[in-house]
Amino acid sequence: METAGAINDLVREAVRYYPELNEELVRVIIVHPGEVLLPELGEELGRYAERKLRERKVEVLKGARVAAYDGLAVTLADGKSIPAATLIWTAGVKPSPAIAALPCRKERGRLVNSKGRARLRYT
């Protein structure tokens, strides 16, 4: 989410310095498999982040998965195709499988710190 927001802001600001471009050519889309963005932060913050991204003209597709990219278009698992000259792929926040074997306290597959909070481990 942070990457998409930052790139969106950077490109939209830069467009004004390039007279041959216009903001209508800028399209940033987040494809997210869940129903709430940033689920590890909770539903309320996820909905807030989505609202802020949409206010900045970032499109959000929830409940969708990327199936393929051929250099010209992103194909979603449902067959929908989105033209895309640039694709930035980021990994999710699924806990590493190595954590499962550790003999320590875990919550939803994540290590719990001394304050009782689950810590994210990215794979």
Average pLDDT in the 46-50 region?
A: 96
Name the one residue in this structure whose structure tokens are 């539903």: 43
Write down the domain spans for the chain. 2-90, 91-123
pTM: 0.73
Q: What's the pLDDT band for 93 if we cut at 50, 70, 90?
A: low
- For residue 34, what pLDDT is reported? 92
3-state secondary structure of 87: coil
CATH 3.50.50.60, domain 2-90, yes or no: yes
- For residue 116, what pLDDT is reported? 54
Pairs from 36-42 (Cβ < 8 Å, separation ≥ 24): 36/62, 37/1, 37/62, 38/1, 40/93, 40/120
- For residue 123, what pLDDT is reported? 42
Whether residue 1 has pLDDT greater than 70: yes
- For residue 122, what pLDDT is reported? 45
